[in-house]
Chains A and B, each alone.
Chain A
Amino acid sequence: MASFEEVGEGLVPKFTDWMSARDTLRDIREEGLRKSHKVAVLGKQLVEKYASKLGDEVWVVHEQVIPSALDIGDHHTAEACYKALHHKFPGSTRVKRLEGLLLEAKEEYDDALALYTDILEKEPTNLLIAKRRVTIQKARGETVAAITELIKILEIYMTDIESWNELADLYISEHSYEKAAFCLEELILANPHNYLNHQRYAEVCYSQGTVDSLNASRKHFSTALKLNPGSLRSLYGLHQTVLHLSTNPKLKGKREEKVKNEDILSWTSSQLQHKYQDIPRCSKIVEQYLKTGK
Chain B
Amino acid sequence: SSTRVYIMMHYSVSAKAYGKIIFHCAKYPHRAVNGVLIGTISKKDNSVQVQDCVPLFHAKLDLTPMLEVALTQVEIYAISKGLSIVGYYHAKPQLDDSSLTDTIKSIGSKISQNSDVSCVLMVDNRKILTSHNELAVKMFINQEQTNQWKEQRNISLMGGDPVMSLLIKAVENGIFQKLIDFDNHLDCVDADWTNPSINKFIEELKEQ
Contact = CB atoms under 8 A, between A and B. Distances in A.
A204 interface: yes
Given A233-B186, A237-B65, A141 B97 contact: yes
A7 B189 contact: no
Given A11-B177, A289-B72, 17 more contacts: A4-B169, A4-B172, A4-B175, A7-B173, A7-B201, A141-B94, A175-B102, A200-B60, A202-B65, A207-B62, A232-B185, A232-B187, A233-B66, A233-B186, A240-B69, A289-B76, A292-B72
A204 B64 CA distance: 8
A210 interface: no
Contacts, number: 95
A128 to B, nearest CB: 18
Interface in B153-207: 169-170, 172-175, 177-178, 185-187, 189-190, 192, 194, 201, 204, 207
A292 B185 CA distance: 20
B94 A139 contact: yes
Given A4-B175, A7-B173, A139-B94, A236 B189 contact: no
B63 interface: yes
7 contacts: A8-B173, A11-B174, A232-B189, A241-B65, A285-B76, A285-B80, A286-B73
Interface stretch (A47-55, A82-90, A258-266, A275-283): A275-283
Interface of A: 1, 4-5, 7-8, 11-12, 34, 71, 107, 138-141, 172-173, 175, 200, 202-204, 206-207, 209, 217, 232-233, 236-237, 240-241, 275-276, 279, 281-282, 284-286, 288-289, 292-293
Contact of A281 (B174, B175, B194): B194
Interface of B: 29-30, 60, 62-66, 68-69, 72-73, 76-77, 80, 94-95, 97, 102-103, 169-170, 172-175, 177-178, 185-187, 189-190, 192, 194, 201, 204, 207-208
A66 B64 CA distance: 37
B105 to A, nearest CB: 12
Contacts of A7: 173, 175, 201
Given A141-B97, A233-B186, A240-B68, A11 B63 contact: no
Contacts of B66: 203, 233, 236-237
B186 to A, nearest CB: 5
Given A4-B175, A236-B69, A275-B189, A204 B63 contact: yes
B174 A173 contact: no
